[in-house]
């Protein structure tokens, strides 16, 4: 269980250290991910938001408390860059919201090999890479949470 409190400025912070909470959100340029980022920032979290083209999506503006990281989360180097951004910018990872996912609007029996690789790359490998890296940091901190939205193949 993670202890948390709210500072007088309204920022969510760790109850023991007094440091602001830090979240990573994948699939953050639209839909559920975008709304999660907006709500977390409104609640005082520092956030690292990721999607393939988050900066060109123009749905969010980076600030001191919101860092934007472009890239395919299904590529290990992107996941590493996302987690490194959280650690370098904010010093910790308290929450991971796995929201990145692709939906291919046709029956899976009609998927091409490329369709399958794209779905597995984002929906499975993306979840695996970023979760593995973020949870390793959470274990060192002895606290943290992961929320995952399941995306169908």
Tens of pLDDT along 125-139? 999 999 999 999 999
Do residues 41 and 59 make contact, with C-beta atoms less than 8 angstroms apart? no
Do residues 134 and 73 make contact, with C-beta atoms less than 8 angstroms apart? no
* 8-42 residue pLDDT tens: 556 666 656 677 999 999 999 999 999 999 999 99
DSSP string, 78-92: HHHHHHHHHHHHHS-
- CA dihedral sign of residues 145, 19, 71, 36: positive
Residue 35 CB contacts under 8 Å (≥ 6 apart), including other chains: none
Angle 26-52-131 from CA coordinates, rounded to 5°: 30
Tell me the angle at which helices 127-141 and 76-90 cross, rounded to the nearest 10 degrees: 30
5: β partners? 13
Residue 85 CB contacts under 8 Å (≥ 6 apart), including other chains: 48, 67, 69
Overall average pLDDT of the 63-85 stretch: 98
End-to-end CA separation in angstroms for the chain? 32
pLDDT at residue number 114: 97
Q: What is the pTM of this model?
A: 0.88
């Amino acid at each position: 269980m993670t202890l948390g409190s709210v500072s007088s400025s309204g920022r969510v912070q760790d109850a023991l250290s007094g440091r602001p909470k830090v979240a990573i959100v994948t699939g953050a340029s639209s839909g559920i991910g975008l709304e999660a980022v907006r709500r977390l920032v409104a609640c005082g979290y520092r956030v690292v938001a990721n999607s393939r083209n988050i900066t060109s999506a123009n749905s969010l503006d980076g600030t001191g408390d919101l860092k934007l990281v472009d890239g395919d989360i299904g590529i290990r180097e992107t996941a590493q860059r996302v987690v490194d951004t959280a650690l370098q910018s904010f010093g910790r990872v308290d929450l991971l919201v796995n929201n990145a996912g692709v939906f291919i609007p046709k029956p899976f029996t009609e998927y091409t090999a490329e369709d399958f690789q794209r779905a597995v790359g984002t929906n499975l490998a993306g979840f695996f890479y970023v979760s593995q890296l973020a949870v390793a940091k959470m274990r060192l901190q002895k606290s943290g949470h992961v929320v995952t939205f399941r995306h169908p193949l």
